[in-house]
A = this chain, B = another copy of it.
Amino acid sequence: MSQAIRFRPQLELAGTVKVDVRNVRHPHYGRYLEEFAPGQVFVHPRGFTFLPAQMEAFARTYMQCNPLYLNEEFARACGFSGLVASPQMVFNVVLSLGVQNDSEKAIANLGYYDAQYLRPVHAQDTIRALTKVVDRKERGAGKPGIVTIRTLGLNQNDEVVLQYQRKIMVAGQGDRPPTTPLPSAADGRMPAFPWVDDAAVTLPSFPALLPAGLTGPSSYYEDFTVGEIIVHANGRTITDEHLALTYAVGNTHPLHFDRIYSSGLSGKMSGDPIVYGGLVFAWLEGLASRDVSDNSVWELGFTEGYHTQPSIAGDTVAALSRVLAAEDAPDGLGARFGIVTFQLIGVKNVGAADALARFGEDLFVKENDKKDLGREKIDAKIFEIERRLLIRKRG
């Protein structure tokens, strides 16, 4: 199983190899607009083995309060085979695995759509990611275009654990050299891309008696009524930690950790590194979690998610949720579980209650729709998304 190999001693060589500054290579990652071709499939590098301490650490980093992600006894008592990786972690990791191919040259992340968590990720699962280019929209010479991609996260059994769609804004190549080439399949064909349009979700058979006492008393299905706004009390000041957290999930876009890069940009992204949006989403979800999701048994997914303003270190973020729908779960689960759709809104540098007082209903109108509706955009608003949760009934 092992072998002992003797290598020649290492000798100093630098002085013996003449320096030739014209013999130089500049590997670059991400893709320029022209490099995206609809139908193309990217097999993303590295993969990621989920380990329990990382799973707990992620949940704690964003103060996610659902004991499924923190308490192994609780997770087992709910029917899972062990501690559950927070779906938000799965999303962050899968997206980050793809940045090197998908978006390391992106100018902006335009939106998240149709994200579906299709099965739990547990300790020792190894997740890899694939992306398929769905569409490329050019908007005229010199203008960045819009690329639509779909991404899958697969476990070591080739089962899809997450699928979602994303739109990104990407500039053309101009006179820059091309990026690092795609590894080409041996037979020249694109890898399989098993996106499913009407996918089933694989969940444990929940036991008759779910554990009691470790979740909030006011976050059962019956506690949510359509139209209600929930103001989450605490905010979170984001520090320089975000550079390290971007590294922690494996996102390779230099906008988030390289001040030379970020301060060299023009426009509103110029200056300090911008907080990677996945982290902002995670913090906001965490701020909301003890009010809305600690009695959930599954995060179904999200759609129409937009980062409407960037955040930087020093910003304090806060969150509000609005109940958009509440209905019984299907397939015989309805007696014990319901599905609640929340609109999650993030603001910065204003408390959530103050934001509601100041901006009122405009907070809940999509920023992209405001021009058509004749409403003012809100600079303090940083995020909007709709998310669906499968939540226990109090019974």
Contacts and interface: CB of A to CB of B under 8 A. Distances in A.
A361 B229 CA distance: 57
A216 B257 CA distance: 22
A330 to B, nearest CB: 6
Nearest to A363: B19
A258 B316 contact: yes
B248 A61 contact: yes
A181 interface: yes
Nearest to A13: B324
A53 to B, nearest CB: 3
A142 interface: no
A252 interface: yes
Given A2-B204, A227-B17, A294 B243 contact: no
A28 interface: yes
A319 to B, nearest CB: 12
A228 B23 contact: yes
A254 B227 contact: no
A210 to B, nearest CB: 14
B259 A237 contact: yes
A360 interface: yes
A14 B181 contact: no
Given A259-B316, A260-B350, A3 B204 contact: yes
Q: How many A residues are at the interface, by size bracket? A: 35 or more
B23 A290 contact: no
Interface in A12-29: 12-21, 23-29
A204 B244 contact: no
A364 interface: yes
Contacts of A57: 53-54, 57, 248
A19 B54 contact: no
Contact of A349 (B236, B260, B333): B260
Contacts of A254: 233-235
Centre residue among A53, A290, A349 by max chain B CB count within 10 A: A53
A316 B10 contact: no
A25 B231 CA distance: 6
Centre residue among A67, A203, A249 by max chain B CB count within 10 A: A67
B10 A386 contact: yes
Contacts of A73: 47, 49, 126, 156
Interface in A164-211: 180-184, 198-205
A278 interface: no
A366 B15 contact: yes
Contact of A7 (B181, B257, B339): B339
Contacts of A349: 260
Contacts of A79: 1
Contacts of A386: 10, 12-14
Contacts of A214: 43, 45-47, 128
Contact of A331 (B6, B19, B273, B324): B6
Interface string A46-88: 1111011110110011110101001111100001010100000
9 contacts: A10-B386, A18-B227, A24-B230, A47-B74, A53-B54, A183-B217, A233-B254, A237-B257, A237-B259
Given A9-B198, A24-B230, 16 more contacts: A2-B202, A2-B204, A5-B329, A14-B343, A15-B365, A17-B322, A19-B365, A21-B356, A21-B361, A26-B230, A26-B231, A43-B213, A47-B74, A47-B214, A234-B252, A261-B351
